[in-house]
Amino acid sequence: NAGVTQTPKFQVLKTGQSMTLQCAQDMNHEYMSWYRQDPGMGLRLIHYSVGAGITDQGEVPNGYNVSRSTTEDFPLRLLSAAPSQTSVYFCASSRSSTLPNTEAFFGQGTRLTVV
Amino acid sequence: AQKITQTQPGMFVQEKEAVTLDCTYDTSDPSYGLFWYKQPSSGEMIFLIYQGSYDQQNATEGRYSLNFQKARKSANLVISASQLGDSAMYFCATNSGYSTLTFGKGTMLLVSP
């Protein structure tokens, strides 16, 4: 019963490097999303997807790229890492994108530090 | 756009007492959900309770209840009989439309023996 799996759990990047945060869910959920959590800011939406092949921007999309080629996977790409992207990243999925009662299941988070 | 306001950065409560964590929301959508999540020091996000905008009764899940006052746009979380393991950050969130969750900034709850 894996749920939402994020890898890696920890990562240190140098400014300018690129990387991909992986997210996979095994619940056949339509909806997947990426959030970042910064101290005192709560969780803010980066990008989301309502199904394979469909993605859209959230509140803080700059510097990030996503794609959704399968229902299960929703990777988040940092194109050129900046210190401002130091954060904890959460991937979440939920079973429907059109009903109010759509509890989101979260991955364990990725703690990213950009130096 | 939706907005969640949690005005209590930190709360203290003694073990076995009840505590209320405040949450007010702002949304123009007629249909929406209200959620509470718990984040312990280990970092994971744990779903606690859900309230739908059309639900007539307040939601309850074990020791958690949601005091939903639609006219005031408030969705306070009540934890009865606090336990040491309840010490954590608590986030209120709302969704509408395509399930984009909007979170508040959170309230840190500390439960003392």
B30 in contact with A at a CB cutoff of 8 Å? no
Nearest by CB: B33 against A92, A102, A109: A102
**Rounded distance, CA B21 to CA B87, Å?**
13
Q: Which of A33-37, A50-54, A87-91 has the lowest mean pLDDT?
A: A50-54
Q: What is the pLDDT of residues A62-110, one digit of tens each?
A: 999 999 999 999 999 999 999 999 999 999 998 875 565 678 899 999 9
**Token output for A112:** 């990213």
In chain A, which residues have their Cβ closer than 8 Å to the Cβ of B44?
A: 106, 108-109
* Closest chain B residue to A98, measured at CA: B98
B51 in contact with A at a CB cutoff of 8 Å? no
**Token output for A67:** 């794609």
- B58 SS3 class: coil
**Token output for B42:** 């280990």
State the DSSP code for B42: T
CA angle (A40 as vertex; A10, A49 as ends), nearest 5: 60
3-state secondary structure labels for all residues of A16-54: CCCEEEEEEECCCCCEEEEEEEECCCEEEEEEEEEECCE
Q: What is the pLDDT of residues B72-103, one digit of tens each?
A: 999 999 999 999 999 999 999 998 665 678 99
In the predicted model, residues of chain B with pLDDT beneath 70 are 96-99
Least Cα separation, residue B98 to chain A (angstroms) = 5
B44 and A106 within 8 Å at the Cβ level: the answer is yes
Nearest by CB: B44 against A94, A97, A108: A108
Residue B84 phi/psi, 5-degree rounding, is -55, -35
